Amino acid sequence: MGTVHAKSLDPLPMHGRDLGVNPDDLVEIPEQEQESKQEILENKDVVVQHVNIQGLGRTKEDLLGYEISDVFHAKNLIDVMKKSHIARQKLLRLGIFKEVEVLIDTSEGKDALPNGLDVTFEVTEIKRLTGSYNTMVGNNEGSMVLGLKLPNMFGRAEKLTFQFSYGTKETSYGLSFFKPQPGHFERNLTLNLYKVTGQFPWSSLKETDRGLSAELNFPLGMTNHTLKWEGVWRELGCLARSASFAVREESGHSLKSALSHTVSIDSRNSAIFPSRGALLRINQELAGYTGGDASFLKEDFELQLNRRLFWDSVLSASLWGGMLYPIGGQPSCIADRFYLGGPTSVRGFGMYSIGPQSEGDYLGGEAYWAGGLHLYTPLPFRPGKGGFGDLFRTHFFLNAGNLCNLNYGEGPNAHLQKLAECIRWSYGAGIVLRLGNIARLELNYCVPMGVQSGDRICDGVQFGAGIRFL
């Protein structure tokens, strides 16, 4: 009897490798007897009669039925292998199995057809309680993260997570509950309860947030959507005795209740070093209509276009923008405004040190825009090509932007004119290092231009680390 084994791959992360499969790499046929039957299976139609899952403990079978159902639609042996491989990736994506092995065999028994196949998934469930320790890179800050997880709590891929993070500028802990829709992992609900304490030295400000949120994620056509409600009790205070009077005025307690919606379209082939594709992300936030004493409408967007040129070089263009409109005649809060400048946005300027300021403390603005043009190339002479060297890129950049407050009694032409005044810009070159597919490091030589009174600049070498770059 012929038996086909699909080689086990290492467990994949939540958003892991592509699902493409090369049948020659995945299949080995240890037994050559019954060659005529093997020829039939490989070249003619087959029927998948049974799909079995072995090794289940607390996982509910109905959850897995959605993930493996496509295997029944396979029409030949190669198709069976491909669909089984894809089903394996879907099972690993659930985050509830440590290992998943696939066994394809000819059908046996009274109801067995001459061209019938049985597919068996042998799974090993993750422990009921797992722990983790890692480091995390944010926008020009780093954190140590400790976590405890209870995966697959009720047998349908639910997850309860407790996480503690201690960083250079922020300390937080929180409890979250994650629940996907069976058969549609991209549609999921997340509930969060958290406390975050952060320091913002550019504003001589410290902030403590205690809050809860509910977040619904779902795809719609080519777009991905996130609907979120957040209620947060905010406590603002001065980070130093030298804090300006404008910052001291903002100190105290406030309650924000906000609804937000984010839509994104992402066709890039990589989030860190894309060589083709585009990204469009639009976010709207409305605060005050569900309670709280913060009332505003906030809109911002992000656009990125990438084009491969010659000799593995890539031209990338980015544009950011946003506007905050206070509602009810109340002034905006320093914690809700936009900030601009630094190694992750307009390079050559200090971190968030562009725009309105008072006595050296940067207060943020209610409107901004920023644009960037990059030329990425491989390292000169291509050292480490095909290995470690591919984690690096050289880049030449041109950045520009502005941050200001608007008089909403004036018309849109006056607003555009204000945003076009006092444009800060910079140019330079540097080296970029990719950290996995979630973050990157930059070491740049920057030349800031269009510097305005009160701006803090970084003329020369500037280092940056983060997950979102202009």
Clarify whether residues 252 and 361 are in a common domain.
Answer: yes
Q: Lowest mean pLDDT: which of 8-12, 239-243, 359-363?
A: 8-12
pLDDT of 37 higher than 60: no
Helix (H) or strand (E) holding 281: strand 277-292
pLDDT tens sequence across 253-289: 999 999 999 999 999 998 888 999 999 999 999 998 8
- Separation between Cα atoms, residue 346 and residue 195, nearest integer Å: 30
Contact (Cβ atoms closer than 8 angstroms) between residue 393 and residue 432: yes
In a domain, 285, yes or no: yes
Query: Are residues 357 and 225 part of one domain?
Result: yes
Q: Which two tokens stand for residue 98?
A: 């440590």
Are residues 121 and 251 both part of a single domain?
A: no
CATH number at 76 reads 3.10.20.310
Whether 100 and 204 share a structural domain = no
**Residue 137, domain member (yes or no):** no
- Whether residue 226 is contained in a domain is answered as yes
Asked whether residue 141 is domain-assigned, the answer is no
Same domain, 207 and 79: no
Dihedral through CA 425, CA 426, CA 431, CA 434, nearest 10?
-10
Total domains, the chain: 2
120 and 196 housed in the same domain = no
Domain presence at residue 66: yes
- Domain assignment present for residue 17? The answer is no
The reply to whether 420 falls in a domain is yes
Query: Is residue 396 classed exposed, middle or buried when 0-12, 13-18 and 19+ CB atoms within 10 A define those classes?
Result: middle
- Which range marks the domain in which residue 455 is found? 181-466
Same domain, 240 and 103: no
Q: Is residue 290, in this structure, part of any structural domain at all? A: yes
Query: pLDDT tens digits for 381-434?
Result: 777 676 777 888 999 999 999 999 888 777 778 888 888 888 999 999 999 998
* Angstrom distance (rounded) from CA 404 to CA 416: 11
Residue 49 has pLDDT above 50, yes or no: yes
User: In CATH, what number is assigned to the domain containing residue 406?
Assistant: 2.40.160.50
The model's pTM is 0.82
> Can you read off the two tokens belonging to residue 467?
């997950």
Task: Give me the helix-helix angle, 35-43 and 77-93, nearest 10°.
Answer: 70
Q: Which among 104, 125, 146 is the end of a domain?
A: 125
Percent of the chain with pLDDT over 90: 50
